[in-house]
Structure 1
Amino acid sequence: MLQEKLFGNTHLLGVCAPSFLFRVLMGDVQGLIEKQTINDTVNPRSSSSYYENYHSLREIYFWMEEMVKIHSDLLQKIYIGSSYEKRPLYVLKLSRRQEKVKSAIWIDCGIHAREWISPAFCLCFPGVLQTTYLRERDQTMSTLLEHFDFYIMPVVNVDGYEYTWSHPSKRLWRKSRSSHGNSKCIGTDMNRNFDAQWCGEGASSYECHEIYCGPYPESEPEVKAVARFLRNHKDIIKAYITMHSYSQMVLFPYSYTTNKIMFCSFQESLANKAKTTVLVSANCYLFSLPYIDLAPGGSDDWAYDLGIKYSFTFELRDTGTYGFLLPPQQIKPTCLEALAAVKEIAKHVLQNL
């Protein structure tokens, strides 16, 4: 049972001791976890309802294969490396293929294993092609695909994500599954492992901490693979977007310092425009500059320092009622509102190429 402390005090055995009233947020956490995994493959991959459930890593691999076959004119699967436990790391390239090299937008999901709504969005994003682009001819998406390639990485932390599925008691696992040296503790926080003020205040050098930064920058093969790909394509990638949960925020650099970035007022304006876009769902998103808590080694800060001016972190639903255990019925509205915001950012980037 997950509870929220409210207020109060009382006397216990004649001694004044604090006591609290509680509000039950989730009466059956285990039951909620089981409901999130039971329908992994119940819906056909070609159906819109497929994107209203969470999916295991194995199923996501199958989905990528099928999507690439069905939409071979639009989708390409790119192998960029392997994880610590030797699972393949894939990026989907969404593109209306042309002879010329186009500008690109990168979107990654699943850096933190327990944030299941994040990979759900990275499936939803190309998945909506079946309805909004291919069938209904979404003019905005059509225009964006004329000018941009989209590189979408559905799961960065493949080992950690798989671990949360195969070990239900570890559903809230955050880190990778790597082991370094003789440490008794497993895993590195991948969003503290990029070379952006690595392991400064807001990260930990202690292996057992949730925000362990790793033994050195890019020590995690998954982080190294992403960083290598972005470095190799930095001349064409015009925007970097990373999806996390939860708190319903649009964030931009820096998280490793309180100093404002060079384009702060501009980034603030665009972040505000993106978060305003999702208000069509009556679901409030905030934007933050330049940080909430110090978080050095983050991918968005690293991408910005690489030269990708438009760098954003989305913290998807919700604001704490379910947290990392967001119910499946909230997947579709979460994806649609985030998609609207991503399209808003892409349109702005296009207008300012």
Structure 2
Amino acid sequence: MKHLCYMICLLGMLVYGGSSLKVRYDGDQVLKITPQTTDQVRYLQALSKEWQLDLWKPDSAEEIHEGRETHIQIPFSRIQLMKENLLGQGIPFTIMISDVQKLIDKNAQSGKTMQRNQISSRNYNYTIYHPMDEIYQWMEDIETNHGDLVTKHYLGSTYENHSIYYLKLGLPSNKKKKAFFMECGIHAREWISVAYCQWFVKEIISNYKDDFNLTKVLKQVDFYVIPVLNVDGYIYSWTTDRLWRKNRSVQENGTCYGVDLNRNFDSHWCSTGADSVCESFIYCGPSPASEMETQALVALVEEHKTEILCYLNIHSYGQLILYAYGYTYNISENNDELASIAKIAVEKIMERYNSYYIQGRASATLYTLSGSSSDWVTDLKINLSYTFELRDEGDYGFELPPDQIEPTCEETMDALMGIIDYINENYLEDNAVSITSVWMTILLSCALHISYSIFN
């Protein structure tokens, strides 16, 4: 079965490399639209629902607001009518992507011409996007070549019977360790998220032996990295529809496909910023944690919830670092700490390439949504939970070119090391203090022994 999966994924890679996906977007455009009045907002919301348009930002019609820039993909067949409607309503707009398919084709060709080494993790190319078969092989090679630090584990299965794996990074310890979770690829089309998870693993492996603080952290913390949670959707985005978002479970007696996994967690499920209509891009599912992928992740987090220091949910695009809450405008109990850590991460990102990121509460900074993994883990009393929306701000959207993978991952790694340093300083034992305490205990014991010998 595993070899069959590899063959299917490889076929998908070849098909995508030749720009022959079954679903094409020839002539589709992405428009930047900024409604100025309440009537314009209502008009745009109604049109988006009536035409079932793919909202890239925000991802639900209810979150279209006055003065907020909205990115919407418009099918070629409706482009002219859409522009006439916007002009007729006096709603300002500009063209963000003039031809979605041409951008897909260009990025596919760029990735195809770049060096594609698949032999082992030692010469794996981290500056291109990889289909699922290569990621499966990469995980196996990583464990084989770095078994002293990394182990591969089975998380669960998907609706289409694909395996979900995670990598556990950590050094041996005789004490109970803390945990740091990173989940990528929950939305199928957000390929930069998947690329970053692999980059993170590479950087930890490459640097920990020469970094005293990182070595110290790895002795006290295990990193749980899920490179692709939505495996079915990710494969489908390579083989059939580059802009597919959801998973691939069959819904409504076979009439439609897929659930938005980041609306499927049991945290104020389907109450806001989600949709109970199956055809919607933000369909929350028939019930909380209805999906096999969600259930698998929930089981792992529940198993380690008392140990988890930090949980990261990696997305694209928008250049944002977000924290609780998404479903309400209420402020979490540790909002000040969350904000101060996010500020550190934003500053670290800015230092390398001067990339501008915004940090803040998800509901106030981005839009309201319910059923997200980030809010769910916050409800479990895991103090540090963040959603990272990586590059870019809108020039390419979900079609971030391969030549931006490296700078995106580098600046994101800087941010993550800032968070790890904070955890090291504020949540972990100080090895120097611990060693001093041991020696003080030994010296005190010796002193007592000598004293006892003298006076007895």
TM-score normalized with structure 1 length: 0.90
How many residue pairs get matched?
A: 342
Q: Is the 8 A contact 1:32 1:325 kept in 2?
A: no
Matched, 1:147 2:220: yes
Alignment of 1:215-254 (within 5 A): 215-254=286-325
Deviation of residue 147 (structure 1)? 2.2
1:5 and 1:192, CA in 2 relative to 1: closer, same or farther beyond 3 A?
Answer: closer
1:264 and 1:55, CA in 2 relative to 1: closer, same or farther beyond 3 A?
Answer: same
Q: Is the 8 A contact 1:251 1:313 kept in 2?
A: yes
1:119 and 1:30, CA in 2 relative to 1: closer, same or farther beyond 3 A?
Answer: closer
Q: Distance in 1 between matches of 2:284 and 2:213?
A: 40
Alignment of 1:186-265 (within 5 A): 186-265=257-336
1:256 and 1:42, CA in 2 relative to 1: closer, same or farther beyond 3 A?
Answer: same
Q: Distance in 2 between matches of 1:196 and 1:36?
A: 40
Q: Distance in 1 between matches of 2:93 and 2:156?
A: 50
Q: Distance in 2 between matches of 1:63 and 1:218?
A: 29
Secondary structure of 2:344's counterpart equals helix
Partner of 1:286: 358
Q: Is the 8 A contact 1:110 1:118 kept in 2?
A: yes
Matched, 1:132 2:132: no
Question: Which of residues 18, 43, 63 in structure 1 aligns to 2:87?
Answer: 18
Question: Which of residues 223, 230, 233 in structure 2 aligns to 1:157?
Answer: 230
Q: Is the 8 A contact 2:362 2:368 kept in 1?
A: no
Partner of 1:87: 162
Q: Is the 8 A contact 1:252 1:313 kept in 2?
A: yes
Q: Distance in 1 between matches of 2:376 and 2:412?
A: 22
Deviation of residue 290 (structure 1)? 4.3
Q: Is the 8 A contact 2:275 2:284 kept in 1?
A: yes
Q: Distance in 1 between matches of 2:93 and 2:385?
A: 42
1:241 and 1:40, CA in 2 relative to 1: closer, same or farther beyond 3 A?
Answer: farther
Q: Distance in 1 between matches of 2:295 and 2:115?
A: 32
Deviation of residue 288 (structure 1)? 1.8
Structure number with greater Rg is 2
Aligned partner letter, 1:329: D
Matched, 1:35 2:104: no
For residues 205-262 of structure 1, the C-alpha deviation after alignment (integer angstroms, 9 at most, x for no partner) is 0000011000011111001100110001111111100100000000001101111111
Secondary structure of 1:208's counterpart equals coil
Q: Is the 8 A contact 2:246 2:259 kept in 1?
A: yes
Deviation of residue 96 (structure 1)? 1.1
Aligned partner letter, 2:269: W
Farther off after superposition, 284-293 or 212-221: 284-293
Deviation of residue 339 (structure 1)? 1.3
Partner of 1:342: 416
Q: Distance in 2 between matches of 1:80 and 1:21?
A: 44
Partner of 2:189: 114
Secondary structure of 2:167's counterpart equals strand
For residues 298-335 of structure 1, the C-alpha deviation after alignment (integer angstroms, 9 at most, x for no partner) is 00000011121100000000001011110111111111
Q: Distance in 2 between matches of 1:263 and 1:311?
A: 11
Deviation of residue 24 (structure 1)? 6.1
Question: Which of residues 238, 243, 247 in structure 2 aligns to 1:172?
Answer: 243
Alignment of 1:271-310 (within 5 A): 271-281=342-352, 282-291=354-363, 292-310=366-384
Question: Which of residues 147, 164, 169 in structure 2 aligns to 1:72?
Answer: 147
Q: Is the 8 A contact 1:275 1:286 kept in 2?
A: yes
Q: Distance in 1 between matches of 2:247 and 2:360?
A: 27
TM-score normalized with structure 2 length: 0.71
Stretches of structure 1 that go unaligned for 5 or more consecutive residues are 8-14
Stretches of structure 2 that go unaligned for 5 or more consecutive residues are 1-26, 35-83, 428-456
Q: Distance in 2 between matches of 1:231 and 1:151?
A: 13
Q: Distance in 2 between matches of 1:175 and 1:295?
A: 16
Matched, 1:269 2:340: yes
Deviation of residue 172 (structure 1)? 0.7
Farther off after superposition, 183-192 or 310-319: 183-192
1:325 and 1:216, CA in 2 relative to 1: closer, same or farther beyond 3 A?
Answer: same
Secondary structure of 2:250's counterpart equals coil
Q: Is the 8 A contact 1:249 1:314 kept in 2?
A: yes
1:300 and 1:36, CA in 2 relative to 1: closer, same or farther beyond 3 A?
Answer: farther
Q: Distance in 2 between matches of 1:17 and 1:73?
A: 59
